[in-house]
Amino acid sequence: MGSRTSSLLQQEEIEEIQQETGFSPKQIVRLYSRFTNLDKSDRGMLRVEDLYRIPELVINPLGERIIQTFFLECESDQINFRQFMKTLGLFRPYKKRYGPEAINTREKKLKFAFQMYDVDNDGSIARDELLVLLHMMVGSNITEEQLGAIADRTLLEADLDEDGQISFEEFIKALEKSDCEQMMSIRFLN
Amino acid sequence: TEEEIESYEILSVNFLEVASPLVLSIWILVAAVAKIVFHFSPLPKYVPESCLLIAIGFIIGALFLANTASPFKPELQAHIFFLYLLPPIMMEAGYFMPQAAFWNNIGSILMFAVVGTLINAFTIGLSLWGVSMGGLLRGNTTINFLECMTFSSLISAVDPVAVLAVFEEIHVNQVLHILVFGESLLNDAVTVVLYRVFESFNEIGGEHLATQDIIFGFISFFVVAFGGILIGLIMGFLTALITKYTYKVRVIEPIFVFVMAYLSYIIAEMLTLSSILAIVTCSMFMKPYVEQNISTKSHTTIKYFLKMLSSISETIIFIFLGTTSLSKEAHQWDTAFVLFTLLFCSVYRAIGVFVQVTILNRFRLFKINRRSQFIMTYGGIRGAIAFSLVALLCSKVISAKPIFFTTTVVIIMFTVFVQGITIKPLVNFLHIQKAEKRKPTMNEEIYERFNSHLMAGVEDIVGHHGHHWIKEKWEEVNHKFLEKLLV
């Protein structure tokens, strides 16, 4: 595996990805081997089906949404390694020295979350989209009315301009006090 | 006449018959009134409650000391402390544990609790032995190595009761709080083992020690720690299971919760396992299931009763600390020993925290900064556990007990008074982030749940299983099996 990985991944490509995402070369090599592992068709592209083959992700209540959002940016149903890394780079812990242009700022992390909430992809979250999300997350022991009440309260709290929907600005505002930078970060192994 | 005698007897004062419950009730009354008075005064801004309680203890102790005829000695007896006063506080600690913060930082907490305590115990012990060998003590007395190690094993651990009492009031951010508090809880197993190992080594005598004994000491650490946790899990499981069937007799619901938790403590104590780990594990495990099984009223009862019990225990402990410090128990002041212990306790804690934080920061997603590190060093408050352990030492085996006793009192007073009083201004001075007390909004709650699934999903894609993955797995097991069984 090791030799194959290094032969396929050019040094300049590593550097470019490093520039773009902030991952260390070791992390990039490691994630590349993961990428090739997932890439069953061996064409250097990851397809939706490849992600559906990860058993844990399939039983994750939000698994489907996660996969859909992963492929949202590239408009086709496959992503190359660079796009894959760019999306993962979002989940690196943000540091001030990265500056506001970095790919993993608080706002960009929240944008990803927002896109997952926003099922119909129209730039705002409506009541039925909240319901879809709640349905995925809670078990069957909560009634439809209760879920409705939760969705209503959520909307009431966040919807500042009272148009019945949560815009991205309202979404950021509602989570102002949450520690999103920390919560939406994971540690990548070297 | 006969009638007169009878009326005389009706009026007789039968003090001795009610002596213990009467004295006990008055104790609790005094303690509770002292708390009320304290909170009406302007003192809470400057002084932690524990300091005031110890001060009251000093006064009461002085009164008893002056009255030599008194049949009562207001002293903290080790068995009363360990069997009755400590369990409620530890149960409360486990029951109200901020579990998310605890599990997120479990690695760091374990490092501080195990490695940190060991570092402290050995460096302090060795240094004190050096001081004693160097002839720095009064009259050139020497304290042998094993005695020094016994002492350092009881003085090196951070005390959960004292830490709770001080940190509850300063409201530092949750991560800092859970690091110090978690350390103080989980270091129990280390303290118990070290103390017991060195105490028995003393009895065996240094010259008869075999390598085998040391290996057994090492093994016993795992037995004590995991044994305690196992008992906690079993009792917690049983409690959850029992409360599933109490819906016809709601009034007894709190009883099960309290008795089972207490039993976990006592059984662990009986088997000489870590009783603190047992009761903390038990209450942490049972909580989510019990909450779903019992009525809201029962749950409120449990919450209030637990808060009340633990606050009373804590109060009594601190007053007792004051009275016992002034007791007639053999004190022996040795300036050099006291000062060196104080120095070593502070310096080695600072060094230990520094080294550990430096190592931990390489692995932590979010680093512990230098200022937080200082507060962690400073939060190393000693308390009643060290006190009770030193009182339990057998003076026949350990001839230096009076010196140890006095020194322990000084260390406790220093850490509780000096560090306890100055930690709040320091937290403000260093601009340590404070905890905010508010309920999460609906949006935040949903986002939080959403996020934990999302991060578990990202970990799946990355193929590296971090704590989000573990959490997701646990929730899956919990949902599939435990909840079906216990709720």
Q: Which domains does chain A have, with CATH numbers?
A: 12-91 (1.10.238.10), 105-183 (1.10.238.10)
pLDDT of residue A190: 75
Q: Is residue A4's pLDDT more than 50?
A: no
Q: Is B69 exposed, middle or buried (0-12, 13-18, 19+ CB in 10 A)?
A: exposed
Contact between A153 and B469 using a beta-carbon 8 Å cutoff: no
Confidence of residue B70 (pLDDT cuts 50, 70, 90): low
Contact between B458 and A150 using a beta-carbon 8 Å cutoff: no
Please report residues of B whose CB lies closer than 8 A to that of A37.
Answer: 463
Please report residues of B whose CB lies closer than 8 A to that of A188.
Answer: 462, 464
8 Å CB contact between A68 and A114: no
Question: Quick check: helix, strand or coil at residue B434?
Answer: strand
Please report residues of B whose CB lies closer than 8 A to that of A61.
Answer: 453
Q: Alpha carbon B370 to chain centroid distance? A: 26
Query: Residues A12-41: what's their mean pLDDT?
Result: 87
Contact between B366 and A93 using a beta-carbon 8 Å cutoff: yes
Query: Residues A113-124: what's their mean pLDDT?
Result: 88
Contact between B446 and A54 using a beta-carbon 8 Å cutoff: no
pLDDT of residue B119: 93
pLDDT of residue A41: 81
8 Å CB contact between B448 and B440: yes
Chain B touched by A126 (CB under 8 Å): no
CB pairs < 8 Å spanning A and B: 101
DSSP state of B369: P
More confident residue, B291 or B476: B291
What is the ipTM score, two decimals? Answer: 0.91
Query: Residues B365-386: what's their mean pLDDT?
Result: 90
Q: What is the pLDDT of residues B396-430, one digit of tens each?
A: 888 888 899 999 999 999 999 999 999 988 988 98
| Mean confidence (pLDDT) of chain B | 88
B450, B466, B476 ranked by CB distance to A186: nearest: B466
Give the HSE-up count for residue A188: Cα atoms under 13 Å, Cβ half-sphere: 27
Chain B, nearest residue to A113 by Cα = B451
In whole angstroms, what is the distance from residue A82 CA to residue A80 CA? 5
8 Å CB contact between A89 and A22: yes
8 Å CB contact between B397 and B203: yes
8 Å CB contact between B379 and B163: yes
Q: What is the pLDDT of residues A134-175, one digit of tens each?
A: 888 886 677 888 889 988 988 888 888 888 889 999 999 888
The fraction of chain B above a pLDDT of 70, given in percent, is 97
Q: Is residue A6's pLDDT more than 50?
A: no
In whole angstroms, what is the distance from residue B409 CA to residue A6 CA? 63
Helix-helix angle A63-70:A106-117, to 10 degrees? 120
Q: Is residue B57's pLDDT more than 90?
A: no
- Which of B169, B302, B154 lies closest to B239 in space, CA to CA? B302
DSSP state of A102: S
In whole angstroms, what is the distance from residue A130 CA to residue A125 CA? 7
Please report residues of B whose CB lies closer than 8 A to that of A116.
Answer: 450, 454
At A186, give phi and psi (nearest 5°): -130, 165
Contact between A56 and B456 using a beta-carbon 8 Å cutoff: yes
Chain B touched by A70 (CB under 8 Å): yes
Chain B touched by A59 (CB under 8 Å): yes
Query: Residues B203-231: what's their mean pLDDT?
Result: 86
Query: Residues B145-172: what's their mean pLDDT?
Result: 89
Q: Is residue B338's pLDDT more than 50?
A: yes
Chain B, nearest residue to A166 by Cα = B443
Instruction: Return the minimum-mean-pLDDT range out of A106-120, B22-36, B185-199.
Output: B22-36
Confidence of residue B306 (pLDDT cuts 50, 70, 90): very high
In whole angstroms, what is the distance from residue B144 CA to residue B272 CA? 27
Contact between A154 and B444 using a beta-carbon 8 Å cutoff: no
Q: Is residue A2's pLDDT more than 50?
A: no
pLDDT of residue A3: 44
In whole angstroms, what is the distance from residue B426 CA to residue B288 CA? 36
pLDDT of residue B35: 84
pLDDT of residue A8: 67
The residues of B whose Cβ lies within 8 A of any Cβ of A are: 363, 365-366, 436, 441-444, 446-451, 453-464, 466, 468-469, 472, 476, 479
Distance of CA A78 to CAs A18, A84, A85, A101, Å? Answer: 22, 10, 13, 26
Residue by residue, DSSP assigns A104-170 as T-HHHHHHHHHHHH-TT-SSEEEHHHHHHHHHHHS-TTS-HHHHHHHHHHHHHHH-SS-SSEEEHHH
DSSP state of B366: S
The fraction of chain B above a pLDDT of 90, given in percent, is 44
pLDDT of residue A65: 87
Contact between B450 and A116 using a beta-carbon 8 Å cutoff: yes
Q: Is residue B52's pLDDT more than 50?
A: yes
pLDDT of residue B352: 94
Please report residues of B whose CB lies closer than 8 A to that of A182.
Answer: 365-366
pLDDT of residue A9: 76
More confident residue, B236 or B174: B236
Tokens 């396929």 -> residue: A8
Instruction: Return the minimum-mean-pLDDT range out of A1-10, A37-46, B108-117, B365-374.
Output: A1-10
In whole angstroms, what is the distance from residue B220 CA to residue B217 CA? 5
Contact between B444 and A37 using a beta-carbon 8 Å cutoff: no
| Tokens linked to B266 | 């006592």
Question: Quick check: helix, strand or coil at residue A79?
Answer: strand
Residue from B450, B452, B464 whose CB has the most chain A CBs within 10 Å, to mutate: B450
Contact between A186 and B457 using a beta-carbon 8 Å cutoff: no
More confident residue, A14 or B351: B351
Chain A, nearest residue to B452 by Cα = A183
Please report residues of B whose CB lies closer than 8 A to that of A180.
Answer: 447
Contact between A91 and B455 using a beta-carbon 8 Å cutoff: yes
In whole angstroms, what is the distance from residue B191 CA to residue B169 CA? 26
Confidence of residue B89 (pLDDT cuts 50, 70, 90): very high
Please report residues of B whose CB lies closer than 8 A to that of A57.
Answer: 457, 460-461
Query: From the CA atom positions of chain B, what is the Rg in Å?
Result: 24
Highest mean pLDDT among B74-83, B137-146, B252-261: B252-261
Torsion of CA A122, A128, A133, A138, to 10 degrees: 180
Confidence of residue A5 (pLDDT cuts 50, 70, 90): very low
pLDDT of residue B229: 96
Residue from A90, A183, A189 whose CB has the most chain B CBs within 10 Å, to mutate: A183
In whole angstroms, what is the distance from residue B61 CA to residue B72 CA? 11
Q: Is residue B2's pLDDT more than 80?
A: no
